[in-house]
C-alpha cells in the first residue's frame, strides 16, 4: 500500500461513548462509563495524562515541595544550621523530571487500555451530531460514532495577551515554567494568580531573583484578601519585587540568548532572563469541530449540573472547558458525575436529578476547594465573604490570627497565618473557609467536609481538634463566632 | 502575728463554683462558668497550666517537631545533603525550655486572673458536700463553699509498677522524659503506648540509642494494628531495638551516675543510661478528700455525659479523672460542656439533655480524635474496626495503601503510609478512620468532622479533596468502598 493510499484510508467504528481528551478528566469519564459496562473510545492529540501530569500540578508540586520543606527546616530548632544552605537545583529539577515520567506517557496509556477503552492518538473533531473524526499523525483517519454521548474534556491552555514583541520574546507560560531545565538568574512573572504565585515561589527558592507584575492590587485575587497578602509578604521578605497596579505594554528580546525587557504602561521597564506570562486560560475548543454542531469554536461550553452542554442531549463538556472550576480535582469530580449520568441515561433511561445526588455536580456551586502550594500555603473552600454577600446570604465572617493556636507555634517558630470562616446566620452552617500559613494544606479538607456536609455549627462544637495540631484553629473560630467577634455581612 | 497564729488562721469564702486543678481542663471550666456570670475559685497545688503545658503535649511536641522536619527534609530532592546532619540537641532542648516557659506559670496565672476567678495555690480537698479546703504552702488555710458545683479537674499521673529496685533506679516517667536537660546515650523505654512511642522517637532523633520493651504484641495498641506497625518499622530502621511480648521483672542501678539494668522475665537483661516507664496513668484523686463525700480516694470518678459524678447533683469530674478519654483536647471539650451544664443548672435550673447538644459530651463515645506525633505520624478518630464490631455495628472496613495517593508521593519520596475507614453499613456513615504516614496529622480533622457530623457517604463523594494533597486518600477510600474492596465485619 502506498503512502497516499494509506492516507485515504478511513476506519469507522461505533462506541457507546466517545471522549475527547485523555487528561485526568477524560480518564475519569472513561473509568466511570466503562465500569457501567459501556464501550468507550478516548482521543488524545498530545500526551495521555494531560496538562496536570506533565505541565501543571505534578511538576509544579515537585518543584515546590523542597522549597516548603527548606522553609520549615529553617523554622525549627536544631536544624537551622543545615537548612540555610541553598537547594540543590539540579537535584530538584531531576526529581521533577522523574515525577513527570520524563514526559513519556506509557504508564497512563497502559492504564487507559486496562479499562478496556480504545485509545486513538490524533486530533479529534466533532463531525456533526454524535460523530467524531480523528486525524492521526501517521495520516490515518478514524470516524467514531457515539451511540450515547460525546464528552469534550480537552481542557484549557495559557492565554498570551496580544502585546507587541511578546511572541518573538519566547515567553514562558505555565508549561515552560514547570518544565524548564535551568534556573533563570532573573525571572519576571506577569500575573498574580495561582500559577504566578506558585511559580514565583518555586523559582525563587531555586535561586532566581523574582519580579512580579500584577495588574490588580494583590496576589491570589480569587481568595479572601489576606491570603494573597501573606503570600506576597513572604515572597517580598525573601527578596522578590512585587509591583501591583501595573500593566505590561510590550516585551522586547534581542537575539536568542539575551535578556528580556518587559515594558510597563507609563514607560518603566523591568529586565529579566525569562518572563512568565501567567495571565489566564482559554478553552482548548478552537479545533474540535464545534462549528459542525452549531457551537462556536474557541468558546467555553456552558453545561447543566450533569455536565451536559446546554441544548444537547448527547454532548457533555467536563473539566476546564465548561469554565465551572479550572482545577484538576474539580474536573475529576465532574468526570465521575458525568460518567455516572451518561451511564444512567444510557442504561436506565433516566438520571437522578437531585442536588447532591450522584448525577449532579452540586459542589461546583458551593464547595470548590483549592490549595495553593506557596510558602506559606493558602487554601480555601466554598464562598468568600464577598461571594456570600453577593449571593444574598445573611452572613458573618469570623477571623483568626493563627499565631494564637498552640499547634501553629509548635509547627514553626515565628509562625504567621490567618483563617476566616464565613457562617450563614440563617442556617447556622459554614459557607466557606480560608486559611493561609505553613502546614495548612491538609487542614482544608476538614472545611470541605463541613461545607459540603452542611454540618451545623452546633454539631461542629463536638468535632474536637486534636491538641496540639493547627486544626485547633477550628476551636478558636467557633469561639470567635460564639463570642460575637467579627463583622456581620451587610 | 506569730507564725503559729498565722498557721491557724482560716479564711472562709463562698463561690458559685469551685474548681480543683488549674490545668487546661480546669481553666476551661472556669472560663465557661465565668462567661455565664458565675463566681469561681480555682485551686492548684503545682503549676497553673497543668501537665500538658509543662510535662506533656507542649514539651513533647517541641522535642518531636525537629525530628519530623529533619525526616521530611531527607525525603525531598535538593535538601538531602544538608538534612543528614544530626540535630543540634542543645538547640532543641533550649527551644523546649522556652516552649514550657522555663516551667514558670506567670502567663497562665495572669490568664486565670483575667477571667475574674480567684486562684488559690495549695492542696485542695473536699471537706463534705460543696466544701473545699485549701492548705497553702505558707500555712494559710481557706475553706471554700460552692453554691452550685465543685469540679474535680486534677488529672492523672504516671503509674510506676511495683518492681524490685525501680524506685531506687530513678526511672524517667513522662515528666522526666519531656523535661530532661541531657540526651542519654542509651534510653530504655518500657511501654509501647503513645508516650513510649513519642518519646522513643524524640530521643532517638536527638541521638539516643533506643530499646523498647513492650508487654503486648505491638506499639500503639489502642489504634488499628497497622498504625503501630508502621511506627515500629520506622523506629527499627533508624536503629531502635523493639522487643514485644516481654515483661520487666526488676530494675537495678548502682550509684548515682552509673548505667541502669532492666531485667526481663526469663532473666534476659537490657542496659541503658536512663529508663523511661511509660506504663499507664492513674487519677490524681488520692488526696483530694473524696472520702469526705463517700467516694474512694485514688479512684477514677464515673460521670454522666454532662460530666457530673454519678450519684451527686453538685460534683463534677472533668478530664483525665473521669477516665473517658485521657487527652488534653478531649478534657477541654468536656470542660466546655461541663461549664455550660453547670451554668445552665445554676441559672436556668435545667440543662439541655439532648445528645450532641451543648450540655452533653457525646463525642466522648463516638468521635475522640488522637494524633500521635511520631515519625511517621499516626492519627485516629472514632471507632476502630474491632471496636465497631464489638459495639454491634454492621460494618465494613476499607483499607488504602497511601503510596497510591499522588499527593503522598509528592510530599515525601519513598512515602509509606496506610489508611482505614470504618463504615456503618446500615446508616452509610463513617464510624471511624485511622491514618499513618508522614504529614497526616492535620488530615485527621476531616475525619473528625465526617464522623461527628454523621455525614452520609453519598454526600462525602461531593467533598472533593484538593489535588494533589494527601487528603485525596478520602477519594481513594470512597472508591474502595464503592467497589466493594475490604472486609465486611463479623
Q: Give the pLDDT confidence of A17-71 residue by residue, as tens digits.
A: 999 999 999 999 999 999 999 999 999 999 999 999 999 999 999 999 999 999 9
Structural domains of chain B, ranges and CATH numbers in brackets:
3-49+105-157+283-363 (3.50.50.60), 167-279 (3.50.50.60), 376-488 (3.30.390.30)
- d(CA A274, CA A185) in angstroms, rounded, equals 8
Confidence of residue A2 (pLDDT cuts 50, 70, 90): very low
CA B115, B116, B122, B124 dihedral sign is: negative
Give the model confidence (pLDDT) of B65-105 as tens digits.
999 999 999 999 998 776 667 799 999 999 999 999 999 99
The whole-angstrom separation of Cα A475 and Cα B448 is 13
List of chain B residues whose C-beta atoms are within 8 Å of the C-beta of residue A97: none
pLDDT of residue B2: 45
Q: Report residue B138's pLDDT band, with 50, 70 and 90 as the boundaries.
A: confident
% of chain B with per-residue pLDDT over 90: 91
Q: Considering Cα of A264, then A270, then A272, then A276, what sign does the dihedral take?
A: negative
Helix (H, G, I), strand (E, B) or coil at A42: strand
Comparing CA positions, the residue from B473, B451, B463 lying closest to residue B387 is: B451
Report the distance separating Cα B113 and Cα A165, nearest Å: 68
CB atoms within 10 A of CB B102: 8
When scoring A352, A367, A379, A462 by the number of chain B Cβ atoms within 10 A, the one with the most, hence best to mutate, is A462
What per-residue confidence (pLDDT) applies to B80? Answer: 73
For residue A205, whether the previous peptide bond is cis, meaning omega lies within 30 degrees of 0, is no
In which residue are the cell numbers 461531593 written?
B462
DSSP lists the bridge partners of residue A190 as: A213, A277
- Least Cα distance to B270 among B259, B279, B255 occurs for B259
Confidence at A257, pLDDT banded by 50, 70, 90 = confident
Q: What percent of chain B has pLDDT over 70?
A: 97
CB contact at 8 A, B410 and A53: no
Specify the pLDDT at position B257.
74
Smallest CA-to-CA distance from B21 within B293, B333, B287, B345 is with B287
Tell me: pLDDT of B139 over 90: no
Coil, helix or strand at residue A118:
strand
Among residues A189, A172, A192, A198, which one has the least CA distance to residue A59? A198
Cβ contacts of residue A310 below 8 Å, gap of 6+?
A302, A303, A304
Residue A413 or B8, more confident: A413
- Closest to B28 in 3D by CA, of B54, B55, B52: B52
Which of B17, B45, B47, B32 has the alpha carbon at shortest distance from B118?
B17
Pick from B56, B49, B58, B158: nearest CA to B100: B58
Quick: pLDDT tens for B317-371: 999 999 999 999 999 999 999 999 999 999 987 888 999 999 999 999 999 999 9
Cell of A306: 450533569
Count interface pairs A-B at CB distance under 8 A. Answer: 272
Picking from A69, A363, A465, the nearest residue to B462 by CB comes out as A363
Instruction: Between B80 and A308, name the one with better pLDDT.
Output: A308
Q: Please give the residue that has the higher pLDDT: either B4 or B259.
A: B259
Instruction: Read off the pLDDT of each residue in B283-310 and give the average, rounded to a whole number.
Output: 98
Higher per-residue pLDDT: A475 or A82: A475
Name which of B356, B411, B445 is nearest A462 (Cβ-Cβ): B356
Residue pair A416/A403 in contact by the 8 Å Cβ criterion: yes
- What is the longest distance spanned by two Cα atoms in chain A? 82
- Cβ-Cβ contacts under 8 Å, A329 against chain B: 464-467, 472
DSSP letters for A71-108: HHHHTSTTTHHHHTSPP-HHHHHHHHHHHTGGG--HHH
Residues B412-444 have pLDDT tens digits of: 999 999 999 999 999 999 999 999 999 999 999
Q: Do A363 and B65 touch (CB under 8 A)?
A: no
> Contact at 8 Å (CB) between B463 and B449?
no
Give the mean pLDDT of B378-400: 98
For residue B378, the chain A residue with the least C-alpha distance is A466
Cβ atoms of residues A310 and A303 within 8 Å: yes
Q: For all residues of chain B together, what is the average pLDDT?
A: 95
Q: What per-residue confidence (pLDDT) applies to A487? A: 53
Compute the distance between CA of residue A140 and CA of residue A324 in angstroms, rounded to an integer. 35
Query: Span A258-285, mean pLDDT?
Result: 96
At A72, the pLDDT band (50, 70, 90 cuts) reads: very high
Three-state secondary-structure class, residue A371: strand
Using the beta-carbon criterion (under 8 Å), do B363 and A463 form an inter-chain contact? yes
Cβ separation of B88 and A79 shorter than 8 Å?
Answer: yes
CB distance B336 to B319 below 8 Å: no
Contact state of B445 with A474 under an 8 Å Cβ cutoff:
yes
Q: Are the beta carbons of A469 and B445 separated by less than 8 Å? A: yes
Distance CA(B483)–CA(A294), nearest Å, equals 39
Task: Read off the pLDDT band of A350 (50, 70, 90).
Answer: confident
Q: Please, which residues have CB within 8 angstroms of residue A376's CB and are 6 or more apart in sequence?
A: A230, A231, A234, A416, A417, A436, A437, A438, A440
Alpha carbon A93 to its chain centroid, in Å, reads 21
> Using omega within 30 degrees of 0 as the cis cutoff, is the peptide bond preceding A376 cis?
yes
Q: For the purposes of burial, counting CB atoms within 10 Å of the CB of B228, is it exposed (0-12), middle (13-18) or buried (19 or more)?
A: buried
Distance from CA of B254 to the nearest CA of A (A): 34
What is the mean predicted confidence (pLDDT) over B166-170? 94
CA B74 – CA B68 distance, rounded (Å): 10
Place of cell 485514688: B298
What is the pairing mode between strands B156-158 and B186-190? unpaired
> In this complex, do A65 and B79 lie within 8 Å of one another by their Cβ atoms?
no
Yes or no, beta carbons of A449 and B443 under 8 Å apart: no
Contact B43, B19 (CB under 8 A): yes
Q: How confident is the model at residue A80 (pLDDT cuts 50, 70, 90)?
A: confident
Contact B77 A95 (CB under 8 A): yes
Query: Are B463 and A363 inside 8 Å of each other by CB?
Result: yes
Which residues in chain A are contacts of B57 at CB distance < 8 A? 406, 467-468
Q: Do A466 and B460 touch (CB under 8 A)?
A: no
> Nearest Cα to B210, choosing from B197, B199, B198, B200?
B200
| Tens digits of residue pLDDT in B204-252 | 999 999 999 999 999 999 999 999 999 999 999 999 999 999 999 999 9
Q: Which of B78, B94, B372, B459 to mutate to test the interface with A (most CBs of A within 10 A)?
A: B78
Amino acid at each position: 500500500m502506498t503512502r497516499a493510499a494509506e492516507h485515504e484510508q478511513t476506519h469507522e467504528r461505533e462506541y457507546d461513548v466517545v471522549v475527547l481528551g485523555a487528561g485526568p478528566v477524560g480518564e475519569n469519564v472513561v473509568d466511570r462509563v466503562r465500569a457501567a459496562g459501556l464501550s468507550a473510545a478516548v482521543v488524545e492529540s498530545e500526551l495521555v495524562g494531560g496538562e496536570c501530569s506533565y505541565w501543571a500540578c505534578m511538576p509544579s508540586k515537585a518543584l515546590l515541595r523542597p522549597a516548603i520543606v527548606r522553609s520549615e527546616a529553617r523554622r525549627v530548632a536544631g536544624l537551622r544550621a543545615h537548612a540555610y544552605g541553598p537547594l540543590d537545583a539540579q537535584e530538584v529539577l531531576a526529581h521533577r523530571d522523574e515525577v513527570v515520567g520524563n514526559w513519556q506517557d506509557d504508564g497512563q496509556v497502559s492504564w487507559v487500555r486496562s479499562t478496556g477503552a480504545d485509545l486513538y492518538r490524533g486530533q479529534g473533531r466533532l463531525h456533526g451530531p454524535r460523530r467524531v473524526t480523528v486525524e492521526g499523525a501517521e495520516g490515518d483517519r478514524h470516524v467514531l460514532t457515539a451511540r450515547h454521548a460525546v464528552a469534550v474534556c480537552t481542557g484549557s491552555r495559557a492565554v498570551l495577551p496580544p502585546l507587541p514583541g511578546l511572541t518573538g520574546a519566547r515567553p514562558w507560560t505555565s508549561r515552560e515554567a514547570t518544565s524548564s531545565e535551568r534556573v533563570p538568574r532573573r525571572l519576571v512573572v506577569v500575573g498574580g494568580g495561582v500559577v504566578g504565585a506558585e511559580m514565583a515561589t518555586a523559582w525563587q527558592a531555586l535561586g532566581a531573583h523574582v519580579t512580579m507584575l500584577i495588574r490588580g492590587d494583590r496576589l491570589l485575587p480569587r481568595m479572601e484578601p489576606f491570603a494573597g497578602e501573606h503570600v506576597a509578604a513572604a515572597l517580598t521578605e525573601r527578596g522578590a519585587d512585587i509591583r501591583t497596579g501595573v500593566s505590561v505594554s510590550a516585551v522586547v528580546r534581542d537575539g536568542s540568548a539575551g535578556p528580556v525587557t518587559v515594558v510597563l504602561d507609563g514607560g518603566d521597564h523591568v529586565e529579566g532572563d525569562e518572563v512568565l506570562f501567567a495571565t489566564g486560560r482559554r478553552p482548548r475548543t478552537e479545533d474540535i469541530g464545534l462549528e459542525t454542531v452549531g457551537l462556536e469554536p474557541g468558546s467555553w461550553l456552558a453545561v447543566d449540573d450533569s455536565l451536559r452542554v446546554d441544548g444537547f442531549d448527547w454532548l457533555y463538556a467536563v473539566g476546564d472547558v465548561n469554565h465551572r472550576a479550572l482545577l484538576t480535582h474539580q474536573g475529576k469530580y465532574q468526570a465521575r458525575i458525568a460518567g455516572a449520568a451518561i451511564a444512567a441515561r444510557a442504561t436506565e433511561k433516566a438520571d437522578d436529578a437531585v442536588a447532591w445526588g450522584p448525577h449532579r455536580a452540586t459542589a461546583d456551586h458551593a464547595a470548590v476547594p483549592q490549595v495553593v502550594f506557596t510558602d506559606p500555603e493558602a487554601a480555601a473552600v466554598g464562598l468568600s465573604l464577598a461571594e456570600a454577600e453577593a449571593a444574598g446570604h445573611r452572613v458573618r465572617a469570623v477571623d483568626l490570627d493563627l499565631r494564637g493556636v498552640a499547634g501553629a507555634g509548635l509547627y514553626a517558630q515565628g509562625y504567621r497565618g490567618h483563617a476566616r470562616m464565613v457562617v450563614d446566620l440563617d442556617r447556622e452552617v459554614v459557607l466557606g473557609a480560608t486559611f493561609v500559613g505553613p502546614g495548612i494544606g491538609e487542614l482544608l479538607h476538614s472545611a470541605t467536609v463541613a461545607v459540603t456536609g452542611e454540618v451545623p455549627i452546633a454539631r461542629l462544637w463536638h468535632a474536637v481538634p486534636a491538641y496540639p495540631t493547627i486544626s485547633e484553629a477550628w476551636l478558636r473560630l467557633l469561639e470567635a463566632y460564639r463570642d460575637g467577634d467579627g463583622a456581620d455581612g451587610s
